[in-house]
Each structure stands twice: as C-alpha cells, then as structure tokens.
Amino acid sequence: MISEAPMTSPICLRTTPYGGRGLFATEQIPKDTLLVTCDSPYATVIFKKFRKEVCGNCFAYAFEARKNTWNIKYDGAEGSGVWFCTVECRDAWAAEQNAEGLQGLMNAGVEKLVKSMKRPKGPCPVSSIESMRPEDITLEIHDLAWKHAEETYARPGCPVQYLDELELDTVRFLVSAIVRRYFEERNPLAAGSLSWAALLQLQNNEILHIRSRPYMLDSHTRIYGFLRKVVLPVLQPYVKTSEMVRAILARDQGNVFGLWDMATTGDSEMLGWSMYVSGAYFNHDCSPNVCKKRIQKSLCFFTTRDVDIGEELCISYVDVKDEVAGRRAALSENWYFDCGCKRCHKELEIEDYPK
C-alpha cells in the first residue's frame, strides 16, 4: 500500500503502450487490497452553493447527517467562507490548511471583489483564439495569448473582469493550491510527498484542452486577472506571472476527482472537486480492476478482483455499463482521449492490441 508516496511494492509506475504512464502490479494482488491512500488533496474546492453543507476539513455532507447545513465557523475574516461539522475539524483545518489565516482571508477578498464585478459590456481585453481552427492553435500562439493577458492584467487601471459561478469556484481552487505551496515552501518537511514538484509530474493537458474548447483561454485568463487583483501581498509572487496558474489549470483537466456525496442511490451530487496527486496515475479501463472510495478527505483505491503480476491497475472514468460508443464519446469529450483499453478493442473488433 502507498500513501501519497513514491510508487513502491506491490505497484509501480511505467509507460503503457496506449496512454502515457500507468500503474502496474509488481506481484499478485488479492481482491479488496488497498493500493493507494491519498491522505488529502493538494488543491480542492467545494462549490459555493454547497459551502455551508460540506465540512471544509473532512468533506462530510450535512444532508447525510440529516442536517440542512453545518454551523461551526471561525469568527473573523481569517475563517471566511468555510463551514465545519465539528470543532475538531475546524481546528484541524486551521492547523493544516489555514495557518496565518491565508485561506480565509483570500476567500474574504474574493467575496469582496465579486461585489465590484460588472457584467461585460464589450469584449474582454485579452485577444481571443475562439475563431481559430483547433489544429492551428499551437503552443506558441497560446503562450503569446497568455503573455498578452499578463501585460493587460498587470496594468494598474485594468478593471476586474466578470467571472461566473464556476469561474469563481476555479479561483477558490487555485487559491487552495497557492496557499498550500506557500506553506510547503516555508516548511518543506511537513509537505512530504504531497509537494508542488509532485503535482508538476502529472500529465499536462493544457493544449489538448484549449484545442478542444478554445473559449476556455478567455475564461482562464480572466480568472488569472481576478486572482492578481485579489491576491494578498505575501502570495503575490505566485501570480506575478501566469506560470503557476497555468501549471495548475493544465493539470486540473484530466487529473482531478469530483467530490461526490456518499449517496448509495444513483442521485449522488458533485459537491466540488479535488486534486489528489498520487491518485492521478490510474488510467481508465472499461473493465476496471480498481475502484476508488473517499473516506472523509482521503481517497483510497482498492482492487476489485485478484490481479496478476504485470497487469495494469485501472479505474473507470465513465459508466462502464454504457455501450462502447457512449463510453468512448464521454472519454473523448471530457478527457480528450480515445480509449485504448482491451474491451474497447474487442468491442470495436480491432485486432493487434498493442503489447
């Protein structure tokens, strides 16, 4: 079993013939074995509409405890925007994620700046690539657009751009990563393997994502502009250039996990999303042999059957009860890849599965 740690027995990370790196069994692993525990996410956000209903520390959902909301909070701006199920959770969050009150103060700053946002009347000050053909959007063009955004938003008089609800949630997600990195740099030993360097090792999906949804460049640059305006002086170095924001957004796509409630019916709600670094090396397979389970704020991965030595360990990103066309369409649309798993090959009757 590994815990936010380098890949050790009984699993290892190596290159697959079809989809970058993946995790493989280095010995026979019985069914129901706990393979990986991600103790806490590097970055996380609870959607604004669920903030009072989901504990900011352990992600417990008030509804499941037959309550409408949690009501434990901090007094003052240092605890702004976060609710807790218990005093213990509040104190744990304060010690682990909110030292110096930075997370809460940033949340308070976001709320304040939201009030001065105006709906856009004209085009955004950053040039758009929306009208370009996907294949023409190169990394160079994309870099230039970001450079232009940096210059635009560095101008003192540049007005704050309008952000919708999801974009503001993305701001809060980025804030959580910035605050974590700030503490990691002050206390590298405490960060352990849950480090910025480990996050950078995750697959970078920036250009794939922008080619698939060119309008997201405009959204991402406005989010960056907003962050620059709201950032506390101690955190300014992280947004002086767009490097850190781009690095996170490039990995946000395709590597994060939805934060779902624990409903056992099919009506489970997505309450937010989180970046669990060690969990992001599991590839998808339409016949998965691993499942994930959230236990409070930890994400745990278990085998769902006996696994042979050398077999790849995969979870499913989509509903594997769907037929092949539906599964592949969902993976292509939301994860930007053509599934290379054996089941797809078989159902599409493609021979010569890569070895």
Q: Which of 20, 76, 258, 310 binds ligand SAM (CB under 6 A)?
A: 20
Q: Is 258 in the site for ligand SAM (CB under 6 A)?
A: no
Shortest CA distance to 43 belongs to which of 352, 276, 280?
A: 276
Q: Is 283 in the site for ligand SAM (CB under 6 A)?
A: yes
192 within 8 A of 2, measured Cβ to Cβ: no
Only one of the segments 12-20, 87-95, 98-106, 268-276 lies at the binding site for ligand SAM (rule: CB under 6 A); that segment is 12-20
* Amino acid identity, position 242: S
Taking the least distance from each CB to ligand SAM, the nearer of 187 and 332 is 332
Radius of gyration of the chain (CA): 21
Strand partners of residue 301: 36, 292
User: Residue 319 CB, nearest distance to ligand SAM (Å)?
Assistant: 15
Distance CA 10, CA 111 (A): 46
Q: Which of 7, 21, 269, 298 binds ligand SAM (CB under 6 A)?
A: 21
Q: Is 326 in the site for ligand SAM (CB under 6 A)?
A: no
Q: Closest CB to ligand SAM belongs to which residue?
A: 19
Q: Is 42 in the site for ligand SAM (CB under 6 A)?
A: no
Only one of the segments 19-27, 154-162, 239-247, 320-328 lies at the binding site for ligand SAM (rule: CB under 6 A); that segment is 19-27
C-alpha distances in Å from residue 209, one per residue of 22, 140, 350: 21, 15, 27
Q: Which of 35, 223, 275, 341 binds ligand SAM (CB under 6 A)?
A: 341
CA angle 201, 203, 208 (to 5 degrees): 150
3-state secondary structure 8-43: CCCEEEEECCCCCEEEEECCCECCCCEEEEECCCCE
Distance CA 47, CA 302 (A): 27
Q: Is 284 in the site for ligand SAM (CB under 6 A)?
A: yes
Q: Where on the phi/psi map is residue 295: left (φ > 0), alpha (ψ -120 to 50), or beta?
A: beta
Taking the least distance from each CB to ligand SAM, the nearer of 210 and 280 is 280
Site residues for ligand SAM, window 171-210 (CB under 6 A)? 202-203
Only one of the segments 144-152, 172-180, 283-291, 292-300 lies at the binding site for ligand SAM (rule: CB under 6 A); that segment is 283-291
User: Residue 317 CB, nearest distance to ligand SAM (Å)?
Assistant: 7
- Interface positions with ligand SAM (CB under 6 A): 18-22, 202-203, 254-255, 280-281, 283-285, 335, 337, 339-341
